[in-house]
Amino acid sequence: MKLDHLVSFKKVVETGSFTRAAQELFMTQPTVTHHIQALERELGCALLVRSNQDTRLTAEGEELLQKVEELFRQLEDIRHIGLRTRHITGRLDIVASSVMGTYFLPPVLKALAAKYTDVSLHLRFGNSHTIAALVQDGLVDIGFAPWVPGFPSLNFTLARAESSVIVASKNYFSAHREALESGDFSKEQFILREKGTRIHEIAMNWLKKYSLRPPNRTAIISDDMESIKNLVLCDAGLAIIPRCCVEQCLEMGTMVIVSSPTEIPDVEYFIVQRNNEPFPPLVSVLLEELQEIYPGIEVKSPMHIS
């Protein structure tokens, strides 16, 4: 029995949704579904009953939930055996892309702030090149961003692959439905991230490949993901954006995914660290918390990178 299967089970119960559980665990929904199905096959019984309205536990699911909660309490006690004997203080400087800093790191930082009250946490934002340069120069302790070439002294460990989607507001989609469903984007306004970001590169490659932008049509460019979402919600146009940024809007029905003529590449996000350096204590506790909240991430020490 795998621990990540139990983590997925517990998160589905807590959120009442496979979609929300996948979002909070930074997994895909099929992965969460696979975990639950694997548990049910191993135990030989149904654990959850899904309907259009909700997800509820079976009697066996209730029993498993009690045991899982007790197991996780014991694991938490085990994990903190060493931490109870050391008092960690200091400042942890983190730099992240807007997606990682806004949608990935908050639960980790919340847990750190609660456990280490004498640690000062500083989070700043930047594009991939800026983040890599700050980590390389030792101006921050750790970074979270898409991979960028030209930094051989850095180690990039994959943290998350997020699907890219084309989104429109419900009203915009209704007004442009015929063209969008036919795959004709030539007259549409696009809202894009700024040059230098991975999602901008993905969007531009997609647009150029299908010659969907007329020469006289300019995009709206923003360096803030929330402003892009608000522009979409204001019916200003379409956006190509990581799905995690708009998951709540999709669930609420204020945005819809527009079908693409072809698959759009995922955005891969990495943990960015300096090679051949041991983990400082504050980075170690950050990565411990990261792995507890997102069990699928495997963090390797940069000391093992040549």
Which of the residue ranges 154-158, 180-184, 188-192, 297-301 would you say has the lowest mean pLDDT? 297-301
Which pLDDT score, from 0 to 100, does residue 216 have?
42
| Cβ neighbours of residue 102 closer than 8 Å, sequence gap 6 or more | 225, 226, 245
CATH class of 3-79: mainly alpha
Q: Which residue has the tokens 């989070």?
A: 123
Confidence class for position 304, pLDDT limits 50, 70, 90:
very low
CATH 3.40.190.10 domain residues, the chain: 87-161+268-304, 164-265
pLDDT (tens digit per residue) in 243-277? 999 998 999 999 999 999 888 999 999 999 988 66
Q: Which residue has the higher pLDDT, 210 or 3?
A: 3
Reported as a single tens digit per residue, the pLDDT across 198-250 is 999 999 989 887 665 544 456 899 988 999 999 999 999 999 999 999 998 99
Single out the residue of 221, 228, 206, 251 nearest to residue 98, CA to CA: 228
Integer Cα distance of 132 and 137 in angstroms:
9
Q: Are 202 and 138 in contact (CB under 8 A)?
A: no
CATH 1.10.10.10 boundaries in the chain: 3-79
Q: Spelled out in words, what is the top-level CATH class assigned to the domain 164-265? A: alpha beta
* pLDDT one-digit tens code per residue, 38-97: 999 999 999 998 876 678 899 999 999 999 988 888 876 776 665 555 567 889 999 999
Is the overall model pTM greater than 0.85, yes or no?
no
Q: Domain 87-161+268-304 falls in which CATH fold? A: D-Maltodextrin-Binding Protein; domain 2 (3.40.190)
Task: Report the mean per-residue pLDDT for the chain.
Answer: 86
